[in-house]
Amino acid sequence: MASRTIPAPRARLAPGLVALGLLLGGCSVFEAPPVLRGNRADPEVIAQLSPGVQTKADVRALLGSPSATGTFDDSEWYYISSVTRIRPAQNPGVENQRVVTMRFDPQGVLQSVSELGPKDMRDVAVVERTTPVPGTDRTILQALFGNIGRVGAAGLGAGADAGPGGGPGR
């Protein structure tokens, strides 16, 4: 009688671990490339700016149009950029976000350049309330039977036979 060898538990577990490692390692292979969003103000280009010397036209020629300007005053420019990446089975993530602000005097000459970071950000609370709209709080029965008895097309339905004075027209 031939003897059969039973594989050790470790030997049976090894191929499964190798397969799992390959599957998990492959997730980074399918990761999307980083996507640049916004108007990136490179530090090398920002280093070329001299407050008190350059004008809005000079800054626009070096960096392009700003991502945003001041709401009530065109004397502040914002260059906002971020690098995002979509990962499998995860929400898109922001890897690098930069906000560069530039302030100009009334004559359009650059006064200051600064970069805003995480310490300058403010947490904005989202309000979860909804404005009530008439007619949206109907039950299923009201939705099904709500039109019964209403005036139909071409004057058919209730009120079609009404004569002068509100009574029957006969």
DSSP codes of every residue in 144-160: HHTTTTS--GGG-STTT
Q: How far apart are CA 56 and CA 108, in angstroms?
A: 6
Q: Is 101 left (phi over 0), alpha (psi -120 to 50) or beta?
A: beta
* Residue 104 pLDDT: 94
Cβ proximity of 45 and 67 under 8 Å: no
Look at residue 170 in the predicted model and tell me its pLDDT: 47
Is residue 103 a contact partner of residue 73, using CB atoms and an 8 Å limit? Answer: no
**pLDDT, tens digit only, all 170 positions of the chain:** 555 655 556 666 667 766 666 565 555 556 677 777 887 888 888 888 889 999 999 999 988 889 899 888 889 999 988 888 877 677 777 778 888 999 999 999 999 999 888 788 888 888 888 777 776 666 777 777 777 766 665 555 555 555 555 555 54
Amino acid in position 107: Q
DSSP the chain: -PPPPPPPHHHHHHHHHHHHHHHHHHTTTTPPPPEEEE----HHHHTT--TTT-BHHHHHHHH-S-SEE-SS-TTEEEEEEEEEE--TTS--EEEEEEEEEEEE-TTSBEEEEEEE-GGG----PPP------TT----HHHHHHTTTTS--GGG-STTTTB-TTSSB--
End-to-end alpha-carbon separation of the chain, Å? 110
**In angstroms, how far is CA 34 from the centroid of its own chain?**
16
